[in-house]
Chains A and B, each alone.
Chain A
Amino acid sequence: DIQMTQSPASLSASLGETVTIECRASEDIYNGLAWYQQKPGKSPQLLIYNANSLHTGVPSRFSGSGSGTQYSLKINSLQSEDVASYFCQQYYNYPLTFGSGTKLEIK
């Protein structure tokens, strides 16, 4: 199985700041990576697919980058509605696997 190591586990930042969440795969996943946002008490929502493609309706302050085994999600101009947990997921190989999540709070 491909292990997805996500960091940090939690993050506190101020409104307007830029934050970055990292995800490392245990082997090359060739950009087969998605990022999801899960607000408290809600289901996950897709943000990014194919490592850097923005899903329909997602604000442009979210962006994804990376290649090989290293990927990141960047959130520019942090807003209060961005308080959530964020998960990466590889879909290049079976079984599909998720990172353990990053909980983002506002300072």
Chain B
Amino acid sequence: EVKLVESGGGLVQPGRSLKLSCAASGFSFNDYWMGWVRQAPGKGLEWIGEINQDSSTINYTPSLKDKFTISRDNAQNTLYLQMSKLGSEDTAIYYCAREGYGGYLGYYFDYWGQGVMVTVSS
């Protein structure tokens, strides 16, 4: 069974940093692209970025690429999201997701974690 468990969320002050983790199990982690998606309270879904199997390719949504850094540790089956210069607009549930391969069309999200809440407030 594919399982993704996020951790590291919580209350953080504006301007500070926070690092989220996503522990993967039930599949061969180093065979898959992985991604992060967030959802502000009561809002829709926003793609943050993704990382390929050996970390040689990392893609971000342009508005976040200078604030967020995605990384992975294949030995630990763990995906990370380092967030810096946090503001109230970053308050959201953060989901990690495994990416399925749609052929030449690209990658979609075939399994999602339960999400972790990040609240940015003083």
Q: What residues make up the interface of A, taking CB atoms closer than 8 Å to B? A: 30-32, 34, 36, 42-46, 49-50, 55, 87, 89, 91-101
Q: Is the CB of A44 within 8 A of B112?
A: yes
In the complex, which residues of chain A have a beta carbon less than 8 angstroms from the beta carbon of B45? Answer: 36, 44, 87, 89, 98, 101
Q: Of B60, B102, B113, which contacts A43 at CB under 8 A?
A: B113
Interface residues of B (CB under 8 A from A): 37, 44-47, 50, 59-62, 95, 100, 102-103, 105-115
Query: Given A44-B95, A46-B100, A49-B102 in contact, is the A100-B44 Cβ separation under 8 Å?
Result: yes
Residues on the B chain within 8 Å of A36, using CB = 45, 109
A34/B44 contact (C-beta < 8 A), A49-B100, A95-B62 known: no
Q: CA separation between A45 and B110, bound complex, in Å?
A: 7
21 contacts between A and B (CB under 8 A): A32-B105, A43-B113, A44-B45, A44-B109, A45-B112, A46-B110, A49-B100, A49-B102, A50-B102, A87-B44, A89-B47, A91-B105, A91-B108, A92-B106, A94-B59, A95-B61, A96-B50, A96-B61, A98-B44, A99-B44, A101-B45
